[in-house]
Every structure is written in structure tokens, then in C-alpha cells.
Amino acid sequence: MSEIELLNWARGPGLQIAVIIFIAGVVIRIFEILFLGRKANLAEAKGSEMGSGIKTIISRSLPIKSTFKRSNFTIVSGYIFHFGLFIAIFLFAPHILLFKEVLGISWPALPTPIVDAVTIVTIITLFAVIAHRYYNPLLRFLTNTEDIIVWFVTILPLITGYLAFHRIGTTAPMLLALHILSAELLLIVFPFTKLMHGFTTFIARWYNGAISGYRGVES
């Protein structure tokens, strides 16, 4: 298969397969969560489920002072690479053009130099995160194969995207093909690993807050 053929496959059938697996996987996982068969709460409601659920989503998205003192590196690095990933994926002009082509909607992009700088910072932060995991004895003990896979498929599109944009290493078609394939690998792996927390975290936080609100207590 030539470079152009690989690129065309990645942009066509490869992307379609990855998106189908991603959507089907996410839908199945969410249905699994929503239909766990929890028993109906027959007790009288003492507060608002909705209000408490939303409050908990907000409060648990902010660092707790005591936790920050114990794990400041984990919290700060987490914010950096999550925001970095968001900017690189959703605020880079070529990506927005892709979303417009697929979904028919678009939004303003950040200047390319800013996205480029954010990408570099995010890559460095992700390398620092994996190094910290192996430097810290407890985190090293808790790290398993899935954690390594999740880290790898997360950082790979950033690296290949940076190389493709700056045309470093090989030909432009091959670099672009590798970038697209790495993004498709991320989509395929996403629903079946801890990456799924991108969807389930807010569901779980809302549910915990809603239960506490129903009982009239702080979550």
C-alpha cells in the first residue's frame, strides 16, 4: 500500500470504522450505567436532586484544598493536559474544518501558534505524568497495563499531529496518515478503557449529588 493509499484509507474507511466503534461503545457503556437496576427510592424527598447534582458536578471539578496539598502535582498536571487536549482537539482550525465537514457545525479557532505552544506543553506534561507515576512508589504499584495503554493512545495523536504540522521525519502524506490513524486508535480504545471517564465522571458526580440532595444532606 502506498502512502497516498494509506492516507485515503485512513481518511475514509478507517475513520468510519473508528467512529462507529467509538459511538457504539460509548452508547453501550452509558446504557450499562443507566440500567444497572437500582431500586426506586421510596423515602420522602428532603431536597432537590437536580440542584444538588449540578452543585456536586461543579464542586468536585474544583480542587479541594486538603487534597491539593497532598497531590498538587497530580492535580495541576491533570488540569494542564486536560485543557491542553481540549484546545488541541477542538480549537485547532484544521480540526474544526473536519468537524464542520462531518457534523455541519463550526466555531472560532485559536491562533495556530497558540495551539502549537499548548500542544508542546501538553506533551511535556504527559511525559512528566508518566515519569511521576514511576518515580512515586505508590503510583508505580498502582499502575497497570491499562494505564500505560491509556497514556500511550492519548499522547500519540499529539506527537503525530505536531510532527505532521511541522513536517518532521517523513513525507507529508505519511505523517498525516499516521496522525489520523493514531486518532482513530484513540477513538477505538476510548469506550473500553478508563478514558471513558470523559463521559462517566459527570454522570457519577451528578448521581452522587442527586442522591445526597434527595436525602437533604451535603454531597
Query: Could you report the per-residue pLDDT of 140-181, keeping only the tens digit for each?
Result: 888 899 999 999 999 999 999 999 999 998 899 999 999 999
Predicted confidence at residue 10, as pLDDT, reads 93
Predicted confidence at residue 199, as pLDDT, reads 79
> Confidence band (pLDDT; 50, 70, 90) for 55?
low
> Confidence band (pLDDT; 50, 70, 90) for 78?
confident
Task: Give dist(CA 178, CA 162) in Å, integer.
Answer: 11
> Confidence band (pLDDT; 50, 70, 90) for 103?
confident
H, E, C per residue of 52-116: HHHHHHHHCCCCCHHHHHHCHHHHHHHHHHHHHHHHHHHCCHHHHHHHHHHHCCCCCCCCHHHHH
Q: What would the mean pLDDT of 29-48 be, rounded to a whole number?
A: 67
Query: Computed over its alpha carbons, how large is the radius of gyration of the chain?
Result: 20
Predicted confidence at residue 148, as pLDDT, reads 94
Q: What would the mean pLDDT of 97-120 be, rounded to a whole number?
A: 92
> Confidence band (pLDDT; 50, 70, 90) for 88?
very high
> Confidence band (pLDDT; 50, 70, 90) for 138?
confident
Q: The cell 502549537 sits on which residue?
A: 116
Residue 87 predicted with pLDDT over 60: yes
Contact 80, 121 (CB under 8 A): yes
Predicted confidence at residue 211, as pLDDT, reads 64
Q: What would the mean pLDDT of 90-117 be, rounded to a whole number?
A: 92
Q: What would the mean pLDDT of 8-15 be, rounded to a whole number?
A: 92
Q: At what angle do helices 197-215 and 15-34 cross, to 10 degrees?
A: 20
Q: Which residue has the higher pLDDT, 117 or 1?
A: 117
Predicted confidence at residue 2, as pLDDT, reads 85
Name the amino acid, one letter, at 162.
Y
